Structure 1
Amino acid sequence: MRSKSDCLEQVTLPPFIKTTAQGVHLSVKLQPRASKTGIAGVLGNELRISVTAPPVDAAANQALVEFLAETMDCSRGQIQIVRGQTSRHKTILITGLSAESAAQALS
């Protein structure tokens, strides 16, 4: 007979995803004015995301939110930049989505 712990698989999350009481936090390094919008890889504990928008009048932040909403199949209202509004290093809060779902969508 299998024990309960045998049935539960440990899910290893990438270092840029953290689970909090509010939802899922993503650590992102944003690269504005890129040639194309997309995931550029992982750098240390941050997910690198490139957007074509310039870092002017929050255009790059808006492009980041729209890209994440499309990639994770959720609404833009579920995604909030909680740290780094004017920095390339950002912390993003995503509500209504599990960390496992976020990891799968970003892989």
Structure 2
Amino acid sequence: MTDLSHLARPGTEFTVRVTPKAARDRITVEDGQIRVYVTVVPEDGKANRAVQAALAKAMGIAKSRLTLLRGETSRDKTFRVEP
């Protein structure tokens, strides 16, 4: 899994591009863009919760410290790290 611990400072906002229904869960950084691939389907917030959990694991923080600011129904999402 990609190390995103440099983003773990409180107040940091970052965007990700999400691909649901992927073959496997993974996170990549290509040309400065964070891409998150999750195997779950995008219904009832399942994919958002999976993305949040994957990002928290890659950052080494609790998933409760990540807040989804924008993009609940979009592939492009913005998260903020809470204190």
TM-score (norm 1): 0.63
Work out which of the two has the higher radius of gyration on C-alpha atoms and give 1 or 2.
1
The corresponding residue for 1:42 is 30
Instruction: State yes or no: 1:28 paired with 2:16.
Output: yes
Give SS of 1:34's match: coil
1:100 maps to what in 2? none
CA deviation profile, 1:9-68 (whole Å, cap 9, x unmatched): xxxxxxxx7x8xx6111110000000111113325x531110111111111000001111
Structure 2 match to 1:76 = 63
Secondary structure of the equivalent of 2:80? strand
Task: Indicate the SS of the match to 2:69.
Answer: strand
Distance in 1, matches of 2:34 and 2:68, equals 14
User: Which consecutive aligned stretches of 4+ in structure 1 deviate over 6 angstroms post-superposition?
Assistant: none
2-structure distance, mates of 1:58, 1:46: 23
Compare relative contact order (CA 8 Å, sep 6+) and give the higher one, 1 or 2.
2
- Percent sequence identity over aligned pairs: 30
1:60-100 deviations in Å (ceiling 9; x for gaps): 0000011111111111110011000000001011123xxxx
Q: Which runs of 5+ in 2 are unaligned?
A: 1-6
Q: TM-score, normalised by structure 2?
A: 0.80
1:63 aligns with 2:18: no
